[in-house]
Amino acid sequence: MSKVYLTQCGNFTACHGHGGTLAEAVHTHRFHYEVTFYGPTNKEGYLLDFRLLADTFQKEINAKLNGCDLGTLLKNPTTEELAVWMYNRLNALLPHLFSVKVGEEPDRWIEYRGEN
């Protein structure tokens, strides 16, 4: 069996604001995310079913976050905290999770790999 990396992407629109040193009023982003899994292929030659991933992302990420004010979900509604929240949510449901990347703009990304 070969070990492979599999990445599934998605996006949602949500708003967040910051206090403290970041000091930004509530504003909206079209967040893009990439979730990567790593592990051995099964006897049929694949790691995870893309349909399962799409369904899980729709239910657990998009339905929860699209149109959301992240300040109602996260104590500190930063993109960093969002990446950690998404990782923890998906890690409880899907095997082989390697990393979650979240971009609030095309040139700004946060990656979390479950490390503390």
Q: Is residue 76 part of a domain?
A: yes
Q: Does residue 74 contact residue 82 with C-beta atoms inside 8 Å?
A: yes
Task: State pLDDT tens for residues 8-39.
Answer: 999 999 999 887 787 888 899 999 999 999 99
* Per-residue model confidence as pLDDT tens digits over 27-73: 999 999 999 999 999 999 999 999 999 999 999 999 999 999 999 99
- Residue 52, in any domain of the structure: no
What is the domain extent for residue 36? 3-46+59-112
Element of type H or E holding 101: strand 97-105
Residue 68 sits in a domain of what CATH number?
3.30.479.10
Question: Which among 20, 4, 12 is positioned nearest to 102, based on CA atoms?
Answer: 12
